[in-house]
Amino acid sequence: FSLFEEIPRAPPDKIFGLTEQFNKDENNKKVNLTVGVYKDNDGLVTTFPTVSKAQKMLEQDEKRNNDLSYLPIIGSPTYRRSVLDFLFRESCPSSGPKLLEENRISFVQTLSGTGALAVAADLLSLFISRTVWIPEPSWPNHINIFKRHGFTDIRTYPYYEDGKLCVDKWLEHLRKNVKKNDGIRHCIILHACCHNPTGLDPTREQWQKILETVNELKMLPIIDMAYQGLESGNPPEDAYVLRMCLDESRYKWSHGLFLCQSFAKNMGLYGERVGSLSVVVPPNQPETKTNIESQLKQIVRSIYSSPPGYGCRVASIVLSSPSLKKEWHKDVDFMVQRLLDVRHGMCERLGWSDLVNYTQQHGMFYYTRLNHHSLNRLRDEYSIYMTMDGRLSLSGINDHNIDYVCDAFKSISR
Ligand code: PLP
């Protein structure tokens, strides 16, 4: 008998588990449409041209390149400066600079967007709240992260119904279930853009209504911005939810907000784990920003001590050179145009515009609403792998396999 035998097997990860299965598949026509990693028209995960340039610049900067010592617990000061500028000056030019000047943003470099969410959940569950509202559907890891990081009350709000967003239902649900004075202890995850998995985001008018309700119920927003730039092709432009939130004259956030952000998708730095958590604190509380940052430091120290150094150096170079940054925007736009081309190419071949509101979807994914039976057939008969919520990662499709994939889709829907 061993105590270790009491540890049961965990289920495979909903997304990465499928990739493991895909790797074992021997069909040479197999297509992996599961993970949200951008691939080019030849099916390769390539480095963004701007990122390559930044890597070369880093290589030439021997002192920085060869510095393998620890970064500070809350991250590189250079990275911090460039990311805060990017998020709060460039992406939110009307309200962000004032927040920076008033010293109202606690910041920590994180292990990409997942790390930002996990650190945020740790801080919140230690001091503020153990209740979080997550859209249904959402990225499956949201529930996982909040459950593992101290949240005991995980609730969902309706987001999508019959191929469309259901904003009225969502807000009605919140009004019914969040009592005004409890709201301050209720966190709510808002996907900043390119909602995963549906690819459907509220319009600006709908966001206005959503934010008014969240504000009125005194809920604490956690903005998850993992796809900044993948909607419009222009990263600063896509921070519109953050901009709307920070416009305090309208929303008067009484208790601040959390922003979890990542350069995985918009710089292709997936495995380098480059992201950040910013906590915007209320006005006139001179101690709060420093107190929060001291707690973030403790949390990081107890889990991984300090973040890795390479990826954040690359990102800082891109963000701090005006000419590279311009080129980066072009890289992002190029990726977005290819994703759009694939989306349109599929819809033309499938004639599915009636079935899926595809023109309104954006980002990396195509949400097909195929059922489990169809998804199993695609996998078993055609070796086409998609996540079981019917989401497919568009960049896995290219000129070489688009006809194969669309023919398979047609044959299973007959
Ligand atoms: N949030 C959402 C909605 C996502 O889809 C993802 C990645 O797929 C993340 C956060 C975090 O990604 P990463 O940790 O790679 O930055």
ipTM over 0.95: yes
List the catalytic residue out of 224, 238, 331, 389.
Answer: 224
Residue 181 has pLDDT above 90, yes or no: no
Catalytic-residue membership of 265: yes
User: How distant, in Å, are the alpha carbons of 276, 314, 327, 377, 402 from that of 383?
Assistant: 37, 37, 37, 9, 14
Per-residue pLDDT band for 350 (boundaries 50, 70, 90) equals confident
pLDDT of residue 12: 79
The catalytically annotated residue of 39, 53, 218, 265 is 265
- At residue 96, the 3 state secondary structure works out as helix
CA distances from 348 to 151, 294, 351, 385, 404 (A): 44, 54, 5, 21, 14
Average pLDDT, the chain: 93
Look at residue 354 and tell me whether its pLDDT is greater than 60. no
Alpha helix (H) residue ranges in 29-110:
49-60, 62-65, 77-84, 96-101
Cα–Cα dist 382/93, whole Å: 49
Work out the percent of the chain whose per-residue pLDDT is above 70: 95
The pLDDT of residue 356 is 58
Q: What is the pTM of this model?
A: 0.95
Closest CA to 132 of 310, 260, 305, 324: 260
Q: Whose CA is nearest to atom 4 of ligand 1?
A: 226
Q: 114: CA distance to ligand 1 center in Å?
A: 6
Q: Is 224 in the pocket of ligand 1 (CB under 6 A)?
A: yes
State the pLDDT at residue 65. 74
Phi and psi (nearest 5°) for 362?
-145, 170
Q: Which atom of ligand 1 is nearest to the CA of 114?
A: 14
Q: What is the pLDDT of residues 272-323, one digit of tens each?
A: 999 999 999 988 888 999 999 999 999 999 999 999 999 999 999 999 999 9
